[in-house]
A and B are shown apart, each in its own frame.
Chain A
Amino acid sequence: MMRPSLKVNIGGIELENPIMTASGTFGSGKEYGDFVDLNRLGAVVVKGVSSVAWKGNPTPRVAETHGGMLNSVGLQNPGVEEFIKKDIPFLRGYDTKIIVNIAGKTVEEYCAVAERLSKEDVDMIELNISCPNVKEGGVSFGTNRDMAEYVTREVKKYTKQPLIVKLSPNVTDIVEIAKAAVDGGADALSLINTLTGMAIDIHKRKPILANVVGGLSGPAIKPVAVRMVYQVAQAVKVPIIGMGGIMTGEDAVEFMLAGATAVAVGTANFMNPTATTDILEGIEKYMSQYKIKDIKEIQGSLMI
């Protein structure tokens, strides 16, 4: 029997399979390389990179919640030059695609990172306009229709790679923002980033996070994410990378049925270091159970 095809296409780039890592949960793959064969991942989406080094927020930066977790890292990263020097050569040693998540406080900063990376050997750019943990930039671009379109259009001018725009769920109408990003020239969309949340230590009467609020991720947010992927898939033609609480192959299939072309695994990596490849095997099992020969048969095949 022929091996079923798990190949997916995002913005003209073919991935061996639909499994990606969610930015910020996997570093640049080095740490997980001890446990996971990185060659088996469709793409590694690296932690957000800015034009210069960002220190990030004070600690504690994490709080566990029922079926989820809050983080307020604040995009700590060594800056784009360090990333180019150290992480690209490492990842190029593997047969996987490199997607660089880029962050900025201003439109100019986003453009500067995109331009710098346009000369480098990376496969795609993911524009992060949805981080809830930084004061300037980040989510402020992702919660306003006109800003979302504008920043996408500007960054698109400076990048040579396909551009993915990562959307925030902290909006009234996700479809409006999704359309705006596509109007701005997005080749694909990633959704969802974390939901803004909060947890309180009742004994100290203090927020657990030093930043007071943070981004909620994990299975607790999955139904919201599936709903948003479904709604956006009805409204746009570009491929969607679905994420938000994917822990198993079944979860990944759910996102693809709702309309996702690929999926990203985030918080699950913390619960199980081999989550990415375990989820890939789960998808393969589902395909074999239903005798599906090509993963494209699943994408958007929800029956209503």
Chain B
Amino acid sequence: MKKNLKARITTNHEIAPGIYEMIILSKELSLEGFPGKFVNLYLEDGKHLLPRPISICEINAKEQVLRLIYAVLGKGTKKLSMMKENQEIHVLGPLGNGFTVEKGTGKNIVIGGGVGVPPLLELVKQLEGATDVYLGFRCNPFLVEDFKKYADNVYLATEDGSEGHKGNVLELLKLQNQEGDMIYSCGPKPMLKAVSEWAKNHNIDAELSLEERMACGIGACLVCTCKAAETGDEDWEYKRVCKDGPVFSRDEVMWE
């Protein structure tokens, strides 16, 4: 059940250049959280009317907290990054359809890119099967140590070569001759498209989490759509990333 509430911020600080960690305290949200879902954060300043949709990185029901990792990309997220500990924030969530954890009983391949990496952490924590994780960044990787706690193997790629393989995660995937039964991925569209093709070529099922500019976040306004089709259906339609997604199955998404 979605909650519309005020939650207290317990942590809000920079963990990598332009990347922030916010921890919010809410028993209700911590009980409803699920890998791949997101929350709307409202700035309520009269200038930034639209909520910021932020993926859930980790859920801790025992401590009643949600961990959110976000990138400062514009004025709204800049303002978010300036919120202080103990301040209250208006939160709506959890929203959207998350990953199907139940599909992950075999050998899993988890592939994240940039700011698409955070929602994969809670997923990896919950997956039953053996899991190999591929993380790609332009530079300045984050959360890598967190993934090492829960994954069997973590492979790292940076575009500038400052850490791990110099290049992208797809190259790394091919270098490792990676095999598996299920792929989960979140990241920029070109990466997801490449992952989707790789998965298709290797006949591996995949779930992909998309990002799009949103307004309502609950499926009413139809601004955050993506081209999608039922499996084998050539007639596509615009589906809502916030409500039908953000996680879609491999064959559902029609790439431009």
Contact = CB atoms under 8 A, between A and B. Distances in A.
A68 interface: yes
A26 B221 CA distance: 7
A229 B58 CA distance: 49
B213 A31 contact: no
Contact of A55 (B1, B92, B214, B237): B237
Contacts of A71: 215, 221, 223
A267 B222 contact: no
B31 interface: no
Interface string B1-23: 11010000000000000000000
Interface stretch (A99-107, A235-243, A269-277): A269-277
A60 B223 CA distance: 7
B82 interface: no
**Looking at A30, A56, A59, which has the most chain B CB atoms within 10 Å of its CB?**
A59
B85 interface: no
Contacts of B225: 56, 59, 61, 76
Interface in B182-236: 212-226
Main secondary structure of the interface of B (DSSP, over half): loop
Contacts of B44: 271
A69 B50 contact: yes
Contacts of B50: 62, 64, 69, 270-271
A274 B216 CA distance: 12
**Looking at B44, B213, B220, which has the most chain A CB atoms within 10 Å of its CB?**
B220
A150 interface: no
B4 A274 contact: yes
Given A35-B2, A271-B51, A61 B213 contact: yes
A259 interface: no
A274 B90 CA distance: 12
A273 B218 CA distance: 9
Given A34-B2, A62-B223, A71-B221, A273 B92 contact: yes
A46 B49 CA distance: 22
Interface string A56-87: 10011111101111010100100000000000
A59 B212 contact: yes
By size class, the interface of chain A is 35 or more
Main secondary structure of the interface of A (DSSP, over half): loop
B104 to A, nearest CB: 29
A300 interface: no
Given A31-B243, A56-B225, A271-B42, A62 B238 contact: no
Interface string B89-109: 010100000000000000000
A69 to B, nearest CB: 6
A55 B48 CA distance: 28
Contacts of A11: none
Nearest to B92: A273
A62 B215 CA distance: 7
B238 A56 contact: yes
Contacts of A67: 46-47, 49
Interface in B38-69: 42, 44, 46-51
Contact of B220 (A25, A53, A55, A63): A25
A274 B1 CA distance: 16
A271 B47 CA distance: 10
A219 B46 contact: yes
Contacts of B243: 31
Contacts of B219: 27, 31
Contacts of A31: 216, 218-220, 243
B76 interface: yes
B131 to A, nearest CB: 32
Nearest to A66: B47
Given A56-B238, A59-B212, A76-B238, A25 B221 contact: yes
24 contacts: A25-B216, A26-B220, A27-B220, A30-B220, A59-B224, A59-B225, A60-B223, A61-B222, A64-B49, A69-B49, A71-B215, A71-B223, A73-B221, A73-B222, A73-B223, A76-B222, A76-B238, A218-B49, A219-B46, A219-B49, A269-B220, A270-B51, A270-B216, A271-B50
A-B interface, 8 closest residue pairs, ranked by CB to CB distance from nearest: A27-B220, A62-B223, A31-B220, A61-B223, A31-B218, A271-B49, A60-B213, A270-B215
Given A59-B213, A64-B48, 7 more contacts: A25-B220, A30-B220, A34-B218, A62-B221, A67-B49, A219-B49, A267-B49
Interface of B: 1-2, 4, 42, 44, 46-51, 76, 90, 92, 212-226, 237-238, 243
